[in-house]
Structure 1
Amino acid sequence: MASYGCEVVDGGRYRLSFTVGGLLAEQGRTVAGLMVGDTAVAAAVDTLPSADRDDDAFAPAELLESVRRYAVAENVLQIRTHAAGVRIVNEVIKRLSALTMGELHCIADADTLQSDRRALMWVAMCRYYALVGEFAREVLREHFLIGTPTITYGDYEHFMLGKAMWHPEIDDLSTSTSAKLRSNVFKAMAEAGLVNRADDTIIPSLLSREVTGILMRRPESFGFFPMRGQISA
């Protein structure tokens, strides 16, 4: 079974598999719909305690696995090759596992603003991959707060060098894998509306009232955005 949920490093190894897909916002909407909607896979939830369906709870592993198998078997993301479909579905499921049921409902809702969906998928990426979350807090947000207008590949490389001092798994990455990780983080930031890739300019986040209300339940998530305030636990 895949490793699900928010990553807590605490002296361990970072998850370093964020090499494909960028933000995966539309794919996240489709798969989140299977998790919260009235579908065959939702039957898995019926056997679980009602507390597991609370908006503040995370999706149980049984539901995640049921949705993953269904999404692959039915090719719900309409990806041409089976291998690619499995890879993308697995990646989406892993990221969504770091969101609460309330956050998943928001992503799946057809009335949710695209900008809100992208913001929550950025939160999902930052929670599931602690390294991405730390980059968002320590570099993206910090640059915004001190008035540095841009964020570049050079900033990312400097950040990674610092982390590699304490995490040999980063130092062990191949050159090509390191490049894919870097490219995917910047692609995700651009798709989330946080960075203008034409000139690397940081775009201040203006979260909607709905997303702000949702994230207030886990206020540390505001630290993933170039904005002021709202980061106390």
Structure 2
Amino acid sequence: MELNWEFFWPQFLQACQETFLTVLGSFIFGTIIGLPLGIILVVTRPGHIMENKAVFTVLNTIINIVRSVPFIILLVAIIPITRLVTGTSIGVAAAIVPLSIFVGPYLARLIENSMLEVDKGVLETAYAMGATKFQIITKFILPEAIPSLILSFTTATIGLIGSTAAAGAVGAGGLGDLAITYGYQRFITIVIVITVVLLVVIVQLIQSLGNSWSRFVRRKRG
């Protein structure tokens, strides 16, 4: 089947806009979920400033369970919740719900790893200065972890882009939906090629920006 370019480009631009809004919305809500979870995972682990074995074990287990569920299965499994929140199970708004639930625990684990990279000497300095536990987290650990956190958020964003494309398989809109509807189902290979090339370019750009920003922060702090 031949592609009607005059019809395709408006659909392509709309798909790009839907993908951008989906990634942005999911990233914001995913961060709201993941950031506090990541912090709690770090400070409640054995030997840390707010050690709490029960909280750490329960939270760690929940995050592992959610992360072990493939996104496409999670997407379908929580359709009732998605409908309850957004009133629909298709479109950008509906895609943001499962994507946020998916990326939240993933981001929490990345944030945990970034914060654990902070040198223990920073904690000793904070204790020596008489900092409170809240101050240790906000004034010492998080600022020291910023370069690594930037890379973590970059990784999460790239993961979201891939998941957003996958969500297109069930009518979530965006570039994934465009590739499946106009490329795969209508056997128009050029649509798939254009979509893949664009996604590769976007991922490369985001990764490069994240790496550059992280290096800049490290040099500035050094």
Q: Under a length normalisation based on structure 1, what TM-score does the superposition of the two structures give?
A: 0.30
Q: Under a length normalisation based on structure 2, what TM-score does the superposition of the two structures give?
A: 0.31
Find the structure with the greater CA-based Rg: 2
